[in-house]
Amino acid sequence: MLDRTTRRRARDRRRQADRRYGARLLAAAALAAVAVVGFALLLILVESGWPPLWRLDTSAARRLHVFALSHHEWTAVLHLLSDRVWDPVTLRAAVAVLTAWLLYRRAWRLAAWAAVTAVTGGLVGLLTKAVVERARPALPDPVAHAPGYSFPSGHAMTATTSFAILMLVLAPLLPRVWRIACWCVAVFSVVGVGFTRVALGVHWFSDVLGGWLLGLTVVALTAWPFEAWRADTGRERTPVGQGLEPELTEATPEPPPA
């Protein structure tokens, strides 16, 4: 009787885990679909020169440019944040260090996911710029300059992919309170990157929005196979806010040979 009850409870737990996994997988698929559709729609509007979007872009660029011209200290802070703190080179270096640390911890699959996501994001962004060939804003007395095409914003896309990688990897190592705080900092940084690019007059608002959506798409689509691998190995899927691999807290590097 006791064995039968134990088996029934184990079966019920597996069913509940399967239902949770199905719901979370569906939510992940919906998020990826929204990001893909949103970016595709935005690209169509940009390419067609949709008047409401054009008016929004030009209005935001002109107003922020006027403010930047008359507030030099403010502009200097924007340059510091955009060109140093949130610069793509800085963020990619942080992801590279994280990937090396994961290799040291022998978290091979998580390291591969981080590297593939970062590289894919960079290549997709460059390819999209080359295909769209959108010119950057041409403003009188510009306070900043940037090379290349405008859509999507490479800064915004790199920030989205980089902070997502950092948080999805490191979240399991953080206490719950710190995890929430770090997610807030990550979101603030991603939004802040986009604001600095528009305020400095080197991107349209729609460029930044495109960078956010495309970066989110890349992260969602690369995380999907990682979660499928976890399911195939019998590991329960965790809420995205808790990171991709909670078992990272248990990983320890093997001692070097004597």
- Quote the pLDDT of residue 255: 44
Q: What is the pLDDT of residue 90?
A: 93
State the pLDDT at residue 132. 87
Q: Please list the rounded mean pLDDT of every run of 10 residues in the chain (258 residues).
A: 61 59 59 74 84 90 88 90 91 95 88 90 90 88 87 94 93 86 94 94 93 90 75 64 70 45
Cis peptide bond N-terminal to 239, omega within 30: no
Domain ranges of the chain: 2-250
Could you tell me if 38 and 30 are in contact, meaning their C-beta atoms sit under 8 angstroms apart?
A: no
Q: What is the pTM of this model?
A: 0.81
Nearest alpha-carbon partner for 211 in 184, 190, 196: 190
pLDDT of amino acid 257: 44
